[in-house]
Amino acid sequence: MARVHQWDGFAAIEGDMRAMVADPRWAQLSGPAKAQAVAARTVVTPDGGRWLFGAHARWYRQDPADGRWHLSPPPADQNLRAAAHVVQHTAMLVPSLVPDGPDFAFEGGSTQGFVGPDVPRDITERVRAILGSRRLPSPEDFPIKGAPFTSIFAGDVPSTVAAVWGTLMWCAYAPAFDGNEVLLSMFGEFLGRALPGDEWVRWLRPVGLGDLVALYAERIRADRPKAGLRLAALMANTADAILDDDRFRPRAEALVAMLEPALRRPDLDHAAARQGDPAVRRAWLDRCPPHLARAVVPETAPGEHFAHSVYDLIEALGYLSRRRSDPRAVAVALLAADVAALAPKAAPRLYPWLDPELRHLLHATLTDRGHPLRRFWPVDGDLPPALHPPDRGTAATLLGTAYATGLAWCRLCEVAVPPHGFVTASATVSRLTHQRDDRYPLTTLESS
């Protein structure tokens, strides 16, 4: 007997929207016509939730209190999805919700951390070749003058090294690395202090685009344009070298696209550099292609970046739906565990970026010590059994998304990142260390 497939309103509308945006005629429609087409495919669930599949090929849920739409993965419960129906949303949608076309072409890459699967050896060797391609120049010719690099490298290290390091950290989705990762150990001789973390995990800070700009623009203002061009070339070459690792690829593609025009026309950023680093940063972001816009959201919209990170975390917990747990609720529980441990007073700054259900759950979990979602909080540095990922790849994805979410909310709330990781990400490490993938001999990351 043939199996009867259950109707899934969310899957049906997502498929319909993807086909519609992929149609060449989509680009020819006016903005209002596109908005009307999206609004005509509003999904309503029995609990009253209203959902749209819109910009960035992601789902949004409406807040009934003010009508705003929030990035929010749809429910995993199959019965709820089967009971969903489609209606025409009558209010005009804001343009930011409407797919423009290129945003649907964005390939998000991998959300895994760098604990578990190593960086492939061929990539590591490419970066090693770039780092040692020429004799290191003099620090006087390539000075490091500002944070964060002055707190990472010894005083006699030239900014060429910082350019390679900064590119790796900017491109990484979640810069939590195996303490034995050779991609880091090759920098050991240049470090001024031990990297944060321990022998198992190095919890590294992301580098901002402005930090890369500062290395480059300073040389232009110092009337050393060839040195600035060399730094830009090092960044572009490093980004190109790591493209084959999906944990780097989206941002690496964006960085190459932003730098290539300046490499073809060396004086392109000179006028902006004389105006200051922010002008150069704006020029770089303006050169980011539309289909890679989401890769630079951390730079352009910290609140939206936090919402995307929570979205990724919920998707990483998708394995829980088979265990009859709601990935949406559990993601909020883990977010609450991290916020409670580090900066509970920061929670109100996160609420505006969550849909009404998740906002309520976060507040309730933080304020009610007996809340049932607290059973998902890590205990004694390990995840509770109900949360144990089914395999190594899933564990690496949970670690990556948990760390990325922690970095995102810390940036949004201006909270210092903890040197030993966030509660959830740290607990996930225990699911990976017994299967450690050490392809290279251990090299200390502490300076001599």
Kindly tell me the burial class for residue 403, based on how many C-beta atoms sit within 10 Å of its own C-beta (0-12, 13-18, 19 or more). buried
- Residue (of 433, 421, 423) closest to 396 by Cα position: 433
Q: Which residue has the tokens 């409670």?
A: 340
> 399 near 307, Cβ under 8 Å?
no
**How much of the chain is in helix, strand and coil states, percent to nearest 5?**
55, 5, 40
pLDDT in tens, the chain (448 residues): 444 467 899 999 999 999 999 999 999 999 999 999 999 999 999 988 999 999 999 999 999 988 999 999 999 988 899 999 999 887 889 999 999 899 998 989 999 999 988 899 999 999 999 998 656 788 889 999 989 999 999 999 999 999 999 999 999 999 999 998 999 999 999 999 999 998 899 999 999 999 999 999 999 999 999 999 999 999 999 999 999 999 999 999 999 999 999 999 999 999 999 999 999 999 999 999 999 999 999 999 999 999 999 999 999 999 999 999 999 999 999 999 999 999 999 999 999 999 999 999 999 999 999 999 999 999 999 999 999 999 999 999 999 999 999 999 999 999 999 999 999 999 999 888 765 554 433 333 333 2
List Cα–Cα distances, 186 to 53, 183, 207, 441, in angstroms: 44, 6, 18, 12
Q: Are 211 and 217 in contact (CB under 8 A)?
A: no
CB 87 within 8 A of CB 74: no
Domain ranges of the chain: 9-105, 121-295, 302-435
Cα-to-chain-centroid distance, residue 220: 30
How confident is the model at residue 434, as a pLDDT?
A: 62
